[in-house]
Amino acid sequence: LSKWKLMALIIPAAWTSISYAYDWNDDVTQRVQTLIGNAADKYVQGDYDSYNSDTETAINLLLTIEPQPQSPEQIDARKIQAAQLVDETVKKEIISLEQSLEANQAKADAEYQKMQSMSKEEKEQAAAKAAAEKALAAKAKAAREKAEATSDVDEMLGELGSGKSAPKTHTSTSSGGASMAEISAYTAQVSGMIRSKLPAWDTYKGKRCSVVIHMKPDGKLTGTDSYNGDNDFCNYLKEGLNSIDEFPKVPNQSVYSIIKDASINFKP
């Protein structure tokens, strides 16, 4: 987390408060860096609950950067900037971690090649170490690929929520076996149904609200949460979602694994 990126979150303060702000902001930076490193490691290990907890804490800490936002609009803008900054930085940490583990694997493989002159016990230890490093590198690679796939899906969901056409060029099956075309087709149905419940959509132009939507494989809506954005638009969006009992049935399990707890970004 570079200080220059952190400073992009800061509105120029009065000279009398600069010393205090810098001390506090430096402390926040260090704590956020630690949380991001932990989050990347937890993501690679598959501990997504801890990953979500660490990233959420990092975002909340960034909201305390001095001078803190005062108006609801400033708070919403800071939240968006903080979430984007944490997301980008965690993904860079995951890539860095993968590269480090790959280097360790290469070193372990080289040591394994030298074991012809070792004792039986030393050979077994070298073989075990090489296998462990290989497994960690494979896990890190899988985590990076999942993070990249999630970025594609997040981007697509954001476009759908804004009413734009969904991308049709992605056909990769890296998102848990579901192609981007399948995900795009289904989320377009979901987004279209939600939009149909929002007749005053155009009056909220320039506003934004993201919401996590929970559903069952049969399309039944089980709940919504994590509303984030303009308060008025989020309340309007919540009213529309509360009027929906179920969406179309999800076409297959692969699509369901992506869409079941999807966060869709709505932007009139």
* Residue 128: both structure tokens together: 């075990």
* Residue 98: both structure tokens together: 């993968």
* Residue 20: both structure tokens together: 């205090």
Find out whether 140 and 42 touch, Cβ atoms under 8 Å. no
Find out whether 170 and 151 touch, Cβ atoms under 8 Å. no
Give the residue extent of every domain in the chain.
Answer: 1-147, 162-266
- pLDDT tens digits for range 257-266: 877 777 778 8
113: confidence class by pLDDT, cuts 50, 70, 90:
low
Whole-number Å distance between alpha carbons of 80 and 115: 53
Choice between 26 and 219, residue whose per-residue pLDDT is larger: 219
Q: In sequence order, what are the residues at sequence separation of 6 or more whose Cβ sits closer than 8 angstroms to the Cβ of residue 67?
A: 10, 11, 13, 17, 21
- Check if CATH label 3.30.1150.10 holds for domain 162-266: yes
Choice between 202 and 114, residue whose per-residue pLDDT is larger: 202
Residue 50 has pLDDT above 70, yes or no: yes
101: confidence class by pLDDT, cuts 50, 70, 90:
low
Find out whether 132 and 76 touch, Cβ atoms under 8 Å. no
Percent residues over pLDDT 90 in the chain:
9
The DSSP output letter for 229 is E
220: confidence class by pLDDT, cuts 50, 70, 90:
very high
Whole-number Å distance between alpha carbons of 163 and 173: 24
Find out whether 69 and 77 touch, Cβ atoms under 8 Å. yes
* Residue 123: both structure tokens together: 């050979």
CA 192-56-265 angle, to 5 degrees, is 15
Q: What is the pLDDT of residue 80?
A: 81
Q: Which of 238, 186, 232 is nearest to 213 (CA)?
A: 238
Q: What is the pLDDT of residue 218?
A: 92
Residue 159 has pLDDT above 90, yes or no: no
Whole-number Å distance between alpha carbons of 194 and 240: 7
Whole-number Å distance between alpha carbons of 39 and 48: 9
Q: What is the pLDDT of residue 127?
A: 72
